[in-house]
Amino acid sequence: MHLGFTRPTTAFPPSFEEAETPQNDVLATSRSLRGHLSTTDKNHAIGMNTERFPPYTFPRPAWLPHIENPSSSLPPSIDWVEKGAVTPVKDQGQCGSCYSFSAVGAVEGAYYLQTGVLSEFSMQEIVDCDGLDGGCQGGEMQQTFKWMQMNGGLCLLSDYPYVSGTTAEEQAVCLPCPVVPGTAPEKWITVRRNSMTELQEAVAAQPVSVAVGASRAWMFYEAGVFDGKCEQELNHGVLCVGYGGGEGSEEGQYWKVKNSWGPEWGMEGYILLKRDDFDKQAACGIMEDASYPILPSVPGMTGNEPARPPVISQAGRSSGSTVGLNPLQGSATARDCGGSTAIFSNVRISPDAVEKNELVTVMAEGTLTKPTLSGTYTLSVVYEGAQLYSHAGDVCGNETVALPLNAGTVHVFGFACPANPGPVSYGLDVILPSIAPSGEYLISIKGHDQDNAQLVCIEADLKL
C-alpha cells in the first residue's frame, strides 16, 4: 500500500495493457543505519549520507501481462546512455519521488527514439500534480504513465524545475506549464514477470522503468557488478538503460541501471546488476516489475536523428533542454484566403527572406463589412503537410501562443471589439527559433464572429 497518501488513487481502473500494482518509493534505508555499516558488506561506498531518505516499501505485483511482439534476435549488449537516449543523472534528494524519476526517464528515452531529440522533462510536475500517486510519499511508475496520458504529456524540466529534493515535500500548488506534444503515452507495456529474455527484449528497444529491492549494500555501492544482498520487497524505482557482459566478460552478464541519487553515487550515478536467468534475486528483483511507455509519433520529427546532449549548467539542470538546428535562411509569403466579412486588400509579410530566431510580421489591412461584437479564431500550424498544432482563441484583443516542441511563438493582434464596419487591421508576429525543424510551415488563422459568420482568414507560408 501507499504510505502517507492524501489523494485517492482508485478512481481509474487499469486496462489489460495498463496493469497498475501498488508500489511505494523508495529506499529501504532508515536513520538507524548510520554508523552501523559493516565493513564486510560487498561493494560498499564511502561518503554516502544514510539519512537522506525515509524507509518505504511496496509489494511485488501479483500479475503482469505478457510483453507485446517479442523479438527473436537480440543484440549481445546495448547502452542507451552511449546512444544518447538518456539525460544526465539527477538527485531526488529528501523526497520519496523515485517513481517519477524512473517514469520520466522512460519517457525521455522513448521521446528521443521517436523524435531524435533528447529533452529533459519535469519530475516536479508529477510530484505536484499527479493525483494518482503520492507526491513525496511514493508512487508507482504505471500509475505515473496513466497520469501522463490523462494530463496530455509532460512539461520540460526547465519550465517546471525540481525543488522537492530540498523541501522533502510537494509544493502546495500544481503550477501551469506548457505540455510538450508527443509525451503522453498511448499505452504502456508491462514486461512478463521474471523473464530475463523478455526484459532484455524490452531494454533492447528502449530504456525501461523497473523496481528493485534497494538494500544497505545497494546504498553503499561503488563500482563493478553488484552482488550484495537485496531487500525482499521492491522499494525503489529506477531506469534500466542497457545490458552487457556474457561469455569472455570479466564482470559477467549485467543490467545497467540509472539511479536518482546524484552522480556522486555508484558509477557516476549508475549501477551494474547481475543478470542471471536462474538466480531471480541476483539483480534485486529487477525482473519483477518492469514497464515502458509507447509514445505517439510527432509530425515533422524523425526518430534516431543525431542529437547533441543538452547543455547542462553547474546546478545539473538543462540550460537548453531541446536540441535544435542552425539558423537557415528561407522565404515567406502571406495572403487573405477570402470569403470573410473582413476583406483584406493589403496583406504583407516582413521580411520576405526568413531566418530562424528572427521576427516575422504578417499585417493585413482592409475593410470590415459587418459589426463584430465577439468571436473565436482557430490558429493552425502545418509542418510539411502534417498538422503540428491547433489553438482556439478570441478574435477580440491580443494573444501570445507558444508552439509545441519549442518550435516558436505566434503573437496574434486581434480586433478592438466592438468593431464597426470600416477600416480594420489584423496581424501576426511569428518567431521560429533555431531549434525549429527546417522545412515548410503553413500558419493560418480562421475566425468567426458572434453569428458564426466567417470573419477572417489569413495564411502565411514560411520556408526555412
339 and 448 housed in the same domain:
yes
Q: Among the three residues 300, 323, 346, which one is the final residue of a domain in this structure? A: 323
Mean pLDDT of the chain: 77
374 and 319 housed in the same domain:
no
Q: Which of 138-142, 172-176, 359-363 has the lowest mean pLDDT?
A: 359-363
Other beta carbons within 10 angstroms of residue 61's beta carbon come to 20
Whether 5 has a pLDDT exceeding 60, the answer reads no
Q: How many CA atoms lie within 13 A of 115 on its CB side?
A: 26
Distance CA 326, CA 85 (A): 21
Note down the domain range covering 13. 1-323
265 and 342 housed in the same domain:
no
Distance CA 187, CA 182 (A): 12
Question: From the CA atom positions of the chain, what is the Rg in Å?
Answer: 26
> Residue 124 to residues 164, 278, 459: CA-CA distances in angstroms?
7, 38, 39
Distance CA 95, CA 123 (A): 11
314 and 344 housed in the same domain:
no
| Burial class of residue 11 (count of CB atoms within 10 Å of its CB; 0-12, 13-18, 19+) | exposed
179 and 220 housed in the same domain:
yes
pLDDT, tens digit, 9 for 90 and up, residues 79-92: 999 999 999 999 99
The three three-digit cell numbers of residue 230, written as one number: 537485496
**194 contact partners, CB below 8 Å, separation of at least 6:** 280, 287, 288
Q: Among the three residues 323, 356, 371, which one is the final residue of a domain in this structure? A: 323
Q: Which of 232-236, 397-401, 403-407 has the lowest mean pLDDT?
A: 403-407
258 and 363 housed in the same domain:
no
176 and 288 housed in the same domain:
yes
Longest Cα pair distance anywhere in the chain, in angstroms? 88
How many distinct helices (H) and strands (E) make up the chain? Answer: 6, 20
Provide the edge-to-edge strand list for the sheet that holds 386-394: 331-336, 454-463, 440-449, 375-383, 386-394
> Which CATH number characterizes residue 260's domain?
3.90.70.10
287 and 337 housed in the same domain:
no
- Give residue 85's pLDDT: 96
Q: Are 271 and 86 in contact (CB under 8 A)?
A: no
74 and 15 housed in the same domain:
yes
pTM above 0.85, yes or no: no
37 and 112 housed in the same domain:
yes
More confident residue, 408 or 95: 95
More confident residue, 433 or 364: 364
The three three-digit cell numbers of residue 297, written as one number: 509519433
Q: How many CA atoms lie within 13 A of 321 on its CB side?
A: 19
* Count of structural domains within the chain: 2
Question: Could you give the residue numbers annotated as active site?
Answer: 98, 236, 259
Q: 220-224, 226-230, 348-352 — which one is most confidently predicted on average?
A: 220-224
The three three-digit cell numbers of residue 311, written as one number: 547543455
- Give residue 305's pLDDT: 40
344 and 414 housed in the same domain:
yes
380 and 286 housed in the same domain:
no
> Which CATH number characterizes residue 428's domain?
2.60.40.770
More confident residue, 410 or 188: 188
Task: Of 267, 287, 268, give the one whose Cα is nearest residue 277.
Answer: 287
- Where are the strands (E) in 297-397, listed by range? 311-312, 318-320, 331-336, 342-350, 359-368, 375-383, 386-394
Task: Write out the DSSP string of 88-109.
Answer: PP-B-TTSB-HHHHHHHHHHHH
pLDDT, tens digit, 9 for 90 and up, residues 425-434: 888 888 777 6
| Burial class of residue 326 (count of CB atoms within 10 Å of its CB; 0-12, 13-18, 19+) | exposed
Percent of the chain exceeding pLDDT 90 equals 46
Q: Among the three residues 276, 293, 323, which one is the final residue of a domain in this structure? A: 323
pLDDT, tens digit, 9 for 90 and up, residues 168-200: 899 988 999 999 999 999 999 999 988 899 999
More confident residue, 405 or 341: 341
- Where are the strands (E) in 285-330, listed by range? 290-294, 311-312, 318-320
Distance CA 214, CA 127 (A): 21
